[in-house]
Structures are given as C-alpha cells and as structure tokens.
Amino acid sequence: MRFSVFSVLDDDTELRTGHRADRYEEALGQVREADRDGFETFWVAEHHFHHGGVLPAPPVWLAAAARETRRVRLGVMVAVLPFHQPRELAEQYALVDRLSGGRLEIGVGAGYIPQELEGFGLTPGQRRDRFDAALPEFVAALRGEPLAVSVHPGATVTLNVRPVQQPHPPLWMAAQRREALPFVSKRGLPVALIPYASVAGLDELARNIREYRAQLPNGGAAGRVAAAFHVFVGSRTAGARAALQRYLDSRIATGSSNYEARISEAPDMATVDGLDRRGLVLIGEGSQLVPKVAAIEKAGVTDLLGIFDFGGLPPSVVAGSMRRFSEAFGLRK
C-alpha cells in the first residue's frame, strides 16, 4: 500500500487567531513535512465560496509547493472541470508538472457541493454534461494534440508548454457515489474515494472496489484505488476527536449531499465515535492503527490518503502526527 497526505485546507475561522499561521503557509509547512517523512504524494482539494476548503486555485499553490520540496509527488483531488475552460486549465497543470520536475498527479471530478455549483451558475444536472465535454479536451490539450479554434473553422492551436510526464501526468477520477463507479471504470482510470461520506463501513467499501475493478477494460483487477481517511497518530486523542467533530459538522453545513444522505440512513455517521466504530477514521497510537490499516488494504485500497490536517488542529500537532505515522509504517528511507 502507498501512503499519501490529503489536505482539504478547511479553515476553522474561530481558531484563526493565536496559534494559527496563514493557512497557505501552514499547508506549505505540511508538504515539507511530507517530503521529509517519506509520503508518496501530497494532495490538495479545489473548493470555492465556503470555508470547508479555501483553495480555489490549486495550480498556484502546487507551483509554490514544487519549489519547497524535492521528492514527494504533488496532486490535486480534484480539478473540478465544469468550473474551468479545459485548455486553459491544461496549460496551468502542464506548467506545474514542469516546475515540479514531473511530480504532478491530477484527479478530475464534476463537483458536488450545491453552493459551488450555484456560484458558477450551474445546476446539478448541468455538471455532468460539462464534465463529459471538458474531459476529452483537457486530456487532448495535455497530450499536445491540436485543438479546434471555433472562430476559424479548420484552424487549430496546441499548448506551448508540455508536461514533463508523457503523454501527460497520471490521471485519477473521484467518485462520491457507487453509481459513479462504472463511469470511472469504462475510462480505465484509477479511482479516488471518500469512505466516511460514501459507505457505511469497510464491507461496503470492499464491494464497491470489487465492482469498480470488475468493470475495468479487460477486467483490470489491479486498478489503483485511493481512499481518504482522517488520521491522528498519538496518545492524546481528545483534541483530535474534537477537531474532527468540528470538521464533520462543517461538511454538513456546506450541504455535502452525499454525506447528508449517509447520515439520514445512519445518524451515527455524523459523529466521530460512529465513524470510528465503522473503521472509517484512524485515531490512536501507531501500533493501534496497524491492524486498522491492514483491514483497509484488505478491502482493496492501494493508496491511503491520510487527512492529518482538519478542524483547526495546530500545525505542530499535525506535523507530529505525520511523523509518528511515518515511523509506525516505516516510510522514511
């Protein structure tokens, strides 16, 4: 199993004073820590118009992170294609791949938070059509293929910056609902999942992963599956549990429809204790987490994305948790 870090860059404004640094500088400190600790990739999320995630322009931050690190790969999970002009977005990510020396990973998705869709003038029904239209052009642009120019029929342009990784950086697709898995499978792409918001437990996660792999072209059973779990490693868990509860409450406040649907079926999933009982969070000493991580791997996950930074945890606490995880799982070489 590969181990990575995933930061949503949520911003608990009540904790902004005192121990909190600038949110973006804070995340740069975490990516430097991930680079030292031996994590595979440092992922960030694109969000708009709310404090559940305050990174509206991931290529800008990833370019800064590229200059702060040497080894760790850098990823976006996800680039929300319906919010952008695909060839312009391809230019930006191609440049990030150049600046990082070929360390970029790109996750793509259609968006799911109503406030964000409304902010860009989209209805939920339009997002999928926009995604379907944008994805082929986005990939073609990254590959350096000719792109049609609408104002001059028959004319084309190509990107004047190409990524280091050819034909393009690795692509992933996020899926928040089981119904979306065939959509990912038929494209033959690795899938990224958020279990706490999409499944009732590891048994359901395992079923969904089997279904995804069974529908891959040629029955590609080895398809990579990333899954994000909130992680705190240490003995003083009370503060981490309180921070995670703040984070869960904030997700409900942003109108995350998938998470709300799960809570309506199983109210205990709105609580840290409920998610912990279901194996969907990782909180405790490193030795306690080893069998829990083994169970996640047994469910079919190949890439565990640890969300160490949530709900206003102080940077020093986050860094210590990351270091202890690295030590527990032997990531430092």
Q: How far apart are CA 194 and CA 53, in angstroms?
A: 15
Count, residues in the chain = 333
Name beta bridge partners: 82. none
Are 10 and 295 in contact, with CB atoms under 8 Å apart?
no
At residue 262 the predicted structure's pLDDT band, cuts being 50, 70 and 90, is confident
Identify the band that residue 219 occupies on the pLDDT scale cut at 50, 70 and 90: low
| 120: containing domain | 2-328
CA dist., res. 21 & res. 307, Å (int): 19
Is residue 225 in some structural domain? yes
> Which of the residue ranges 98-112, 210-224, 228-242, 318-332 would you say has the lowest mean pLDDT?
210-224
Instruction: Give the mean model confidence (pLDDT) for residues 183-190.
Output: 93
Residue 24 and residue 168: Cα distance in Å, rounded?
27
- Average pLDDT value over all residues in the chain: 93
CATH number for the domain that contains residue 9 = 3.20.20.30
- Give the list of residues 6+ apart from residue 161 with CB closer than 8 angstroms, or none: 91, 94, 95, 98
Q: HEC profile for 25-90? A: HHHHHHHHHHHHHCCCEEEECCCCCCCCCCCCCHHHHHHHHHHHCCCCEEEEEEEEHHHCCHHHHH
| Total domain count, the chain | 1
Q: Please name the residue that has the structure tokens 């949520």.
A: 10
Residue 189 maps to a domain: yes
The pLDDT score that the predictor gives to residue 20 is 62
Asked, for residue 46, whether it belongs to a domain, the answer is yes
pLDDT at position 6 is 98
- Structure-block tokens of residue 190: 């690795």
Give which of 243, 223, 240 is closest to 171, Cα–Cα: 223
* DSSP SS3 for 309: coil
Cα separations in angstroms, 115 against 194, 252, 299:
20, 12, 33
For the stretch 94-114, pLDDT in tens is 999 999 999 999 999 999 899
Instruction: Read off the pLDDT band of 221 (50, 70, 90).
Output: low
Residue 244 lies in a domain: yes
Given a cut of 80, whether residue 81 has pLDDT beyond it is yes
For residue 296, tell me if it sits in a domain.
yes
3-class state of residue 120 by DSSP:
coil
Residue 333 within any structural domain of the chain:
no
